[in-house]
Amino acid sequence: MEKVLQLLVEGESLTTRQMAEVLNYSEEEVESQLQELKKENILLGWRPVLNPSAEVDAVVRAVIEVKIKPEREGGFDKLAERISRFDEVESCYLMSGGYDLLVVVKGRQLHAVAGFISERLATIEGVLSTATHFLLRAYKEQGYLLPGVVDDSDKPKVSP
């Protein structure tokens, strides 16, 4: 794995300058490796990992199990891509098991999310059924434990 990528995967949020210092690269080198990763579609982009309980971005999240009818040409892909294009859709995965797509939808209000599902998603031709589950509380978000889960405040600042 590229060293820059390793560092990203490790998870400490560092600026490109800090990454350059950690790896003993020039900033340009880090930048060019990042560009390369983007060009190869390995790194899709940058997003902050927000606390889902903080009411800043989306307030309501729903996980939807979607059954769809595969098409003769394109199988599940065409429909899955069509669903993925909606801004409301945060993630969309093809699944094995009892349904076909797992779609994560976010919105500012409950009725907005509900409206999106019933009026947009469910009415797309080829969508056979949807089962919606609303998220109640997050305990871990993309590898980050929510505050309060770990407490190491008793650790001494100097030890042998």
Residue numbers of the site for another protein (CB under 8 A)?
A: 6-7, 10, 12, 14, 18, 21-24, 150, 152, 155-160
Between 73 and 152, CB nearer to another protein: 152
Between 1 and 136, CB nearer to another protein: 1
Do 134 and 58 touch, CB atoms closer than 8 A? no
3-state secondary structure the chain: CCHHHHHHHHCCCCCHHHHHHHHCCCHHHHHHHHHHHHHCCCCCCCCCCCCCCCCCCCCEEEEEEEEECCECCCECHHHHHHHHCCCCEEEEEECCCCCCEEEEEEECCHHHHHHHHHHHHCCCCCEEEEEEEECCCCCEECCEECCCCCCCCCCCCCCC
**Shortest Cβ 45–another protein spacing (Å):** 22
**Shortest Cβ 14–another protein spacing (Å):** 6
Between 12 and 87, CB nearer to another protein: 12
**Shortest Cβ 56–another protein spacing (Å):** 23
Between 40 and 152, CB nearer to another protein: 152
**Shortest Cβ 2–another protein spacing (Å):** 13
**Shortest Cβ 61–another protein spacing (Å):** 25
Between 18 and 51, CB nearer to another protein: 18
CA distance 111 to 127: 21
